Structure 1
Amino acid sequence: MKSRSLSCISLISLLAGNAYAGTINVDFTKNIGTVNPRAFSMDSTEYGSPHDIVHDQTVYNLIAALHLDAMRIDLQNGSDPQLGAGSTSGPGDPWVQAIDSTGAKPVIRLHTIGEDDNGTDSGGSAADAQAMVSRYTANYAAHGLSKPVQYYIIGNETNANDSSGSNFIAFAPGMRSASGGFTLYIGGPAWGWYDEGTMTGYFANTKSTAGGPDFLDYHQYGNGGDTDMSASQLQQELNGGGSDSDGDVLQYGTVSYQAEIAKLQGDTGLPIECGEWNLTWGSDPAQGQPFNAIWGASVIGNIVKAGGVSMEYGDSSGGLMGVVSQNDTPMPLYYSYYMFTGGALFQHFGTNMVLTSVTGDTTVNVQGSNVVQNNTLEVFASNNPKNIVVINKDPNNTETGTVNLTGYGSGTMNAWQTTGDGLPAQIATNVAITDGTFTYSLPPYSVTTFVLGSGTTNGADRNR
């Protein structure tokens, strides 16, 4: 879980516009990328016992209701798998079975030598990894699973202890040979922070000797865990970020996740997984406040927009991290996921990300000679099916959002909205759309999902 702290850079200038209306353009004729089949995923922390998916039916039901694509579990000792992280101990089978039964794909994180950046032998071996694959992939049905486990991660934050990928080189060939003919997707290095040079070097070295990973995994937290963030720092975490012409991160914020993933994908051609993220790797009161639902939705959207996998840490942690509290109630990040997956209320975000743009009220962050402009309204939209997720990142002002659609002229729309303190409320039911446009009120710090039914296309391109 540990990650290198990324300190907030002082906000030099924050200029707020006077208008509180924005124009949202969504072009369903222009797909800009495929949504990763594991895009909306999560870690099982193994810290929340007894309030976890194995021992607490309420927690299980809440997690299952999110309709996650995948969940990661940490296991060790391949011949007799045991939990390998957190404060919970016990056999691994019930956890893999619980994840599988929610409909999510289990992702197993394997122990190696040199875990957790401390250089100690955690007991992992190539033989353990091979036995784990034999159990959960080749012989999955005999161990209570409905489908073979196909996703594995080798190591966790080994950092300086395994920058060359020696564990991957030792483990991966035997794992593939033990899969019983099923395709495996093996990732690494689960680096403790975004380190482009090390991860691209890891990729090149493992590719030349062991075929290389099928995806790269790294961890990135919004801030360090030692100091609670002020209101202005929290807003900077939400509005900050961006990259220069070389793709280097200028200031940490939610859009930085998109910049990092896009850069790594460009370097390697591999899918990228942010295998752990949260507002902080420690404990900040803001994690339990509605703000975190807005921040989390922005992180998820930016990761997914870049084609990445969003794997929040985690389900239940025994503290403020996670999506379910120790009182068996949803935490704010639960609602972040809900606005994309739809839960039991509406359809899941689609399989293709489409082009969007926003004009209107903006804030501008000035950092030396670098200017990063971010709209108060942030939009993520999909085809197959057609969903539009709109985030109002303004803490004080209601925005009036006029949505202009290209490739959708008339049809019906339903909408759900949350301000981060409860399940989304339905604010529109089978509302008729004509001439490809509609307008809705977007409260401060809110997430709104517009779900479009089948409709007719329009001839005019409103974005030109």
Structure 2
Amino acid sequence: MTHPTRAPSVGRRLILGALPAAAVLAACGDVGGEIVVDLEWPIAQLPRAAIGFTATTFADVPGPVVGNPRDLAALGALGAGAVRIHLAPRDGAVVSGARGGDRSIPAERWLRAYGELGLRPTVVVDLDRDAALAVLDAVRPYGVRRFVLGNEMDAHSRADVGDAGYVRRFREIAAAMRRVDPHLEIGGPATAHYEGLNDPLLRGLLDAPPAQRVSFVDFHAYGAGEGETATPESALRYGPWLDALRERVADPSVGLQVGEFNLNWADEPQNNTQAQTVWVATALATILSRGAVAFQYGDRSAAMGLTSDGVPMPSYWGIAMLTGAGLFRGIGTRMVAVHNPDPDVAAFASAADPAVVLAHPGGRERAVRVRLRGYGGGSAHVWRSTAGRPELIVVRPVTDQLELTLPPVSVTTVVLDP
């Protein structure tokens, strides 16, 4: 996780594309109006493995995650479906390749532990042919079929070779790995921010023979860092970025991935607050509404992390407002269109297990009305996070309309049952 340049700040007004976008949020002006959820208008599939987190592999107190049953229990309860981990050969063994990672633990222990939680692994490897093949050989017994070559084009992952050098090495390594297993999914370039995906780099990865071609395009992006305050709007910029990237890729068979995201890329004062819960829920839902894979950073990383000795942190509860974390049924397997003219609320919804997620980062209560197109009536279970762990607020009958009052700095998930 390196950030050589700061991504440009977002303006005070941000519109997330035209419908079917999953949310529209303006940062100024009192637009108001009715939020309309169209449960019959799917805009993205949502496999369980689209929601993931990074295994930081740090060995801080009270020891690495794989040796802490409390952390593992919390991560297992979260309901995520994927884990991202950097592995590399070091001193004759394949261990953590992450900067600051615990290299005393072999790769198989990490993969076994996360596999027992039902998480699909995506393995980051150094941009080096021999290193990548050594990792591939070590992880194949654990069913790993998904890889990213290099990390943020940095020296630590041997990827600081410039755009042309990255493309050349990517093609060489991808072809070598696919000679071992032609069915591997191999992604890149995992730039530190969206702006790093310039056209020559992107076209070089896409305009290649099948064995050398990128399977999915990966980039990282955080709300802010280095003392800069992350705004609520920054959680929504993944929408226009992914919309633009999908147009640039122009091939539905190529996946999109946000390989790292969080409120900040360092331990800023905003971390470990309810604002982080709201931001993470909003960013995750925005990414998923574009059909992309999302990896929060990371499972153990001080106030940026998901758990601390088994105690869920604010980022954890942001993800939980979509997965349910064993407290309630999470969002369904299809994201659906939402028309949202409200300037103070980000709104998302799913079908096939219908649910509505409403994120309100503002400092005052907000009354909202939600119309449910295509819902035949039933009951609404209203879960809300205002201070971390969500609580069941009310269960009430509903036909085709909901009226709710959203507290300041809150996330509300409405689970709809027949």
1:432 — aligned with what?
A: 397
Shift of 1:89: 1.6
Task: Report if aligned partners of 2:7, 2:193 keep a CA contact under 8 Å in 1.
Answer: no
Which amino acid is the alignment partner of residue 410 of structure 1? G
> Gaps spanning 5+ residues in structure 2: where?
14-25, 155-159
2:199 and 2:112 map into 1 onto residues whose CA distance is 32
Which amino acid is the alignment partner of residue 73 of structure 1? I
Q: Does 1:238 align with 2:232?
A: yes
Which of residues 260, 268, 277 is equivalent to 1:284?
A: 268
Which of residues 149, 171, 175 is equivalent to 2:144?
A: 149
Which of residues 50, 55, 60 is equivalent to 1:39?
A: 50
Shift of 1:205: 4.4
Task: Report if aligned partners of 1:409, 1:433 keep a CA contact under 8 Å in 2.
Answer: no
Shift of 1:14: 6.6
1:308 and 1:73 map into 2 onto residues whose CA distance is 18
Which of residues 126, 130, 134 is equivalent to 2:137?
A: 134
Counterpart of 1:77 in 2: which secondary structure? strand
Which amino acid is the alignment partner of residue 368 of structure 2? G
Q: Give per-residue Cα distances to partners, 1:8-32, cap 9 Å, x unaligned.
A: 4685997453x9x752211111112
Task: Report if aligned partners of 1:42, 1:314 keep a CA contact under 8 Å in 2.
Answer: yes
Which of residues 370, 373, 391 is equivalent to 1:403?
A: 370
2:157 — aligned with what?
A: none
1:200 and 1:187 map into 2 onto residues whose CA distance is 16
Shift of 1:202: 3.6
Change (3 A) 1:275 1:453: same
Counterpart of 1:38 in 2: which secondary structure? helix
1:10 and 1:343 map into 2 onto residues whose CA distance is 34
Q: Give per-residue Cα distances to partners, 1:173-225, cap 9 Å, x unaligned.
A: 2212223x7x3111111111113653663443464254311101111122232
Q: Give per-residue Cα distances to partners, 1:65-120, cap 9 Å, x unaligned.
A: 111121111100197311111322221111111111111101111012xxxxxxxx
2:385 — aligned with what?
A: 418
Counterpart of 1:167 in 2: which secondary structure? helix
1:452 — aligned with what?
A: 416
TM-score w.r.t. the length of structure 2 is: 0.86
2:161 and 2:103 map into 1 onto residues whose CA distance is 26
1:15 and 1:208 map into 2 onto residues whose CA distance is 44
Which amino acid is the alignment partner of residue 260 of structure 1? W
2:306 — aligned with what?
A: 323
Which of residues 347, 350, 373 is equivalent to 1:382?
A: 350
2:20 — aligned with what?
A: none
Change (3 A) 1:81 1:39: same
Q: Give per-residue Cα distances to partners, 1:20-55, cap 9 Å, x unaligned.
A: x75221111111222355321111112253444202
1:321 and 1:65 map into 2 onto residues whose CA distance is 19
Change (3 A) 1:92 1:14: closer
Alignment of 1:103-114 (within 5 A): 103-112=118-127
1:302 and 1:262 map into 2 onto residues whose CA distance is 11
Q: Give per-residue Cα distances to partners, 1:387-436, cap 9 Å, x unaligned.
A: 111111212x21222221111131122121101x221101123x2223x1
Shift of 1:321: 1.6
Which of residues 230, 237, 244 is equivalent to 1:256?
A: 237
2:2 — aligned with what?
A: 2
1:219 — aligned with what?
A: 220
1:176 — aligned with what?
A: 178
Q: Does 1:267 align with 2:248?
A: yes
1:143 — aligned with what?
A: none
Shift of 1:150: 1.4
2:237 and 2:200 map into 1 onto residues whose CA distance is 18
2:59 and 2:34 map into 1 onto residues whose CA distance is 43
Task: Report if aligned partners of 1:22, 1:377 keep a CA contact under 8 Å in 2.
Answer: no
Task: Report if aligned partners of 1:52, 1:60 keep a CA contact under 8 Å in 2.
Answer: no
2:321 — aligned with what?
A: 339
Change (3 A) 1:171 1:392: same
Larger radius of gyration: 1
2:192 and 2:151 map into 1 onto residues whose CA distance is 8
- Aligned residues between the structures: 390
1:460 — aligned with what?
A: none
Task: Report if aligned partners of 1:207, 1:213 keep a CA contact under 8 Å in 2.
Answer: no
Change (3 A) 1:51 1:379: farther
Task: Report if aligned partners of 1:349, 1:387 keep a CA contact under 8 Å in 2.
Answer: yes
TM-score w.r.t. the length of structure 1 is: 0.78
Task: Report if aligned partners of 1:387, 1:451 keep a CA contact under 8 Å in 2.
Answer: yes
Task: Report if aligned partners of 1:228, 1:285 keep a CA contact under 8 Å in 2.
Answer: no
Q: Does 1:60 align with 2:72?
A: yes
Q: Does 1:303 align with 2:303?
A: no
1:427 and 1:452 map into 2 onto residues whose CA distance is 14
Change (3 A) 1:199 1:85: farther
2:187 — aligned with what?
A: 187
Which of residues 95, 114, 129 is equivalent to 1:82?
A: 95
2:341 and 2:194 map into 1 onto residues whose CA distance is 31
Counterpart of 2:359 in 1: which secondary structure? strand
Change (3 A) 1:263 1:206: closer
Q: Does 1:101 align with 2:116?
A: yes
Counterpart of 1:287 in 2: which secondary structure? coil
Which of residues 350, 355, 367 is equivalent to 2:332?
A: 350
> Gaps spanning 5+ residues in structure 1: where?
113-124, 141-147, 240-252, 361-374, 455-464
Change (3 A) 1:356 1:205: closer
Q: What fraction of aligned residue pairs are identical, expressed as a percent? A: 27
Counterpart of 2:376 in 1: which secondary structure? coil
Q: Give per-residue Cα distances to partners, 1:328-347, cap 9 Å, x unaligned.
A: 42211111100011111122
